Structure 1
Amino acid sequence: MTLIQFIKYFKSPVGKPLMILLFLLVFTSCKKEYQESPYAEMINFSIKDAKGEILKAGLENQEIILYWPPEQAVPEFITPSITLAEGATVLPASGTKVPFRNGEVFRVKAKNGNTTTYKIKLKINAIIPYISNVNFMKFKTKIFLTKGNPVSIIGDYFGTDAKLIKLYLIGKDDKETQVEPVSVNPISISFIPDGSPGLYKRIKLVSQELTAIYEQEFELIPEQVLPSLTTVSFGQPRTLKHGDEIEVKGGMNLAVVDRVIFYNNATGGEYDLIIKEKRADGWILQIPPTLPLGVYNDLYFFFPETDYREGGNAGISFTGSITIVP
């Protein structure tokens, strides 16, 4: 059929309906070709871990599921690479720095306006830690920790990076006091207690974003400084009589001492001195009339029991001997 015959055919009564039908088919085909895409879908979501390796997320039920490697610090921010369905857009956009946390939202919008919301779900590839014991200090009915005195937590699956471990003392009022770990290994953690003295009810350990709780009521008390005498204020030999006074200095927390004696090496005798004045660093002592005459080079002192420790004693030898004469 020639072109002239083709044109004449479509001008005929039979060809006109066919021409109209052909026109409608072409128009409909063009219309379908330019329909806007309805797909608001995320095809791929990936980030880099602390070592620069690519981590691909699982996409399921509008969740971006990321399995973070164990023993790697979880960053505060990530810069994801995102692939979308054709024509779709996402906010925040691919390559944008965003907080790395559970529930962080990404909204995908299709060309036709349909939207889908995705949320990050972070999972750490680690075993939940557990605590089997804490070496609390105990005295009679008291269970306590002392500020400044190291404490060990015993258990398992703690991890080995101190930066990934957080410790909290939980007060009776539910207030959390964070304490810093001193040393860590998979089965034990040590820390120095800190915080306000008072009553507490548990210890919380967060290791690699996984939490373990140890329930135990205890007290946190100020640092206990035992009475001590490291030196004496007299270095030269002294000669004293009954009733004379002597000042002893060079110690700590000595005001709690309730008994001071001279010890005679030759006889093995213990002889009480009179405490005339108590101070934190020492005492003023008086030679009693009952003290035997002789030479003394050793001094001992005694302190009483408290709510948190037993009583005890300590002593010191001085190079400058004391001679008691009539």
Structure 2
Amino acid sequence: MKKIKLFFSVILLGVSVLVTSCKKEYQKTPYHAIESFTVTDSAGSPLKAAIIGDSILLYWPPFANTPASITPKITISEGAGINPASGAPVSFSTNTVYTVTAQDGSKKTYKFYPMINLPAPVFEVGSSDFLQIAGYIIIKGQYFVADTSQTHLYLVNAGEKKFSLPLANDGSFIFNSTAILSQIPADGTIDTGYYKLRMISGKNTVTKGPFHIAPPNIYDVFKGFIFNEEGKTLKAGDQLSISYSTVAVLKKYYPKTMAITLLVTPENGSPDVKYNIALSSRTDNKLTFQLPQNIITGSLSNLQVTYDGDQFAPFDWYPDKPTMITK
């Protein structure tokens, strides 16, 4: 009988040990670590992020194009889950956040930080003594990030107010890693005076100057002239007009009226006769003049638009089509 009791005691002890062992084997774990985070760069090479605390630091190669999104491969603690999932596209920005959930339901949040390894831009301003409103500004150097979302160019006045300069590579402007050709706005936002030039490229900011900005050149203000009566026949007393394009600061810096000088070749072949004709009317895109009653008959050989007592001649026309003057 004692042997039977001892036998059952041994069996009960074994079952108790087995049950305890099973409970330990299936206990939920509290682990919620990101163990590795790997992406592929623009050249196809793998990049492994550094996991420090709750931060994912991914160092991107200098001057490589930065993507809008990445598709990382992520390993985490055994039995844990992650959102967004490994292999899911995410934004290449600090807006990306991961949450790792352990088996026991505890969570840990990780924030993604793209680290762009870029040296500060180095540059000089070309022809800095001749900067003008509506004129071009030339910048040469190196380490410019040729991406309009990462590089910005400003003129900054004495009060630290910033005025944006356009950046593009479209034939009108140049924008690459070593050269920038931009234009000083002529929309009235920038006045003459001293300004610093500030470039923000990636996480780097470089400021040069100050530089003096002068009034616009008349040839940058009056542009695109068209002689509307070219190829026509005109009579004494008729009106002729010049169409043109301009910029917003025209009236501020060039308020004076304009005139024209005509050269007419007589029908008999005598030397050209010169006429100075005052402006009849001026709008933002057209100049109108009236031919004098005493003008001779012949062909119009030259027409000049003049400003400020013949000091400037922004338009100097020679005929492609004959323009005749008759009585």
User: How high is the TM-score relative to the length of structure 1?
Assistant: 0.65
Among residues 103, 116, 140, which one is paired with 1:154 in the alignment?
140
- 5+ unaligned residues in a row in structure 2: which ranges? 247-255
Distance 2:103 2:215 in 1: 62
Instruction: Call closer, same or farther: CA 1:189–1:317 in 2, change over 3 Å.
Output: closer
Match of 2:178 in 1: 187
Match of 2:252 in 1: none
Match of 1:8 in 2: 3
> Residue 115 in 1 paired to residue 107 in 2?
yes
**CA offsets, 1:289-321, max 9 Å, x none?**
xx9xx999555443129xxxx941254456679
**CA offsets, 1:44-82, max 9 Å, x none?**
112233344332212122211112233433222222221
1:296-311 paired onto structure 2 within 5 Å: 297-304=301-308, 311=311
Distance 1:167 1:43 in 2: 37
Distance 1:259 1:33 in 2: 100
1:161-176 paired onto structure 2 within 5 Å: 161=146, 166-167=151-152, 169=154
1:11-22 paired onto structure 2 within 5 Å: 11=6
> Residue 277 in 1 paired to residue 268 in 2?
no
Shift of 1:40: 1.0
Contact 2:259 2:279 in 1 (8 A): no
> Residue 198 in 1 paired to residue 189 in 2?
yes
> Residue 83 in 1 paired to residue 75 in 2?
yes
Instruction: Call closer, same or farther: CA 1:103–1:60 in 2, change over 3 Å.
Output: farther
1:282-321 paired onto structure 2 within 5 Å: 282-286=288-292, 297-304=301-308, 311-313=311-313, 315-317=316-318
Contact 2:304 2:316 in 1 (8 A): yes
One-letter amino acid matched to 2:118: A
Match of 2:32 in 1: 40
Distance 1:129 1:300 in 2: 46
Name the count of aligned residue pairs: 296
Contact 2:165 2:184 in 1 (8 A): no
> Residue 102 in 1 paired to residue 78 in 2?
no
One-letter amino acid matched to 1:154: K
Q: Secondary structure at the match of 1:31?
A: helix
Shift of 1:37: 1.6
Instruction: Call closer, same or farther: CA 1:248–1:168 in 2, change over 3 Å.
Output: same
One-letter amino acid matched to 1:152: I
Q: Secondary structure at the match of 1:133?
A: strand
Among residues 29, 43, 63, which one is paired with 2:55 in the alignment?
63
Match of 1:241 in 2: none
Distance 1:108 1:198 in 2: 51
- 5+ unaligned residues in a row in structure 1: which ranges? 239-243
Percent identity reads 22
Instruction: Call closer, same or farther: CA 1:296–1:73 in 2, change over 3 Å.
Output: closer
Q: Secondary structure at the match of 1:8?
A: helix
**CA offsets, 1:183-202, max 9 Å, x none?**
33332112356695313866
Distance 2:203 2:35 in 1: 30
Distance 1:130 1:82 in 2: 38
Q: Secondary structure at the match of 1:152?
A: strand
Distance 2:154 2:312 in 1: 31
Distance 2:5 2:162 in 1: 89
Shift of 1:127: 1.9
Instruction: Call closer, same or farther: CA 1:322–1:176 in 2, change over 3 Å.
Output: closer
Q: Secondary structure at the match of 1:32?
A: helix
Q: Please tell me whether Structure 1 or Structure 2 has the larger radius of gyration of its CA atoms.
A: 1
**CA offsets, 1:70-124, max 9 Å, x none?**
3433222222221111111111122222222125211112112332221111012
User: How high is the TM-score relative to the length of structure 2?
Assistant: 0.65
Contact 1:230 1:250 in 2 (8 A): yes
Q: Secondary structure at the match of 1:181?
A: coil
Q: Secondary structure at the match of 1:87?
A: coil
Q: Secondary structure at the match of 2:103?
A: coil
Instruction: Call closer, same or farther: CA 1:301–1:121 in 2, change over 3 Å.
Output: closer
Distance 1:196 1:171 in 2: 16
Instruction: Call closer, same or farther: CA 1:295–1:21 in 2, change over 3 Å.
Output: closer
Match of 2:205 in 1: 212
Moved more, 64-73 or 250-259: 250-259
Contact 2:165 2:183 in 1 (8 A): no
Q: CA RMSD, aligned part only? A: 5.1
**CA offsets, 1:193-217, max 9 Å, x none?**
669531386666454x344354668
Shift of 1:42: 0.9
Moved more, 90-99 or 220-229: 220-229
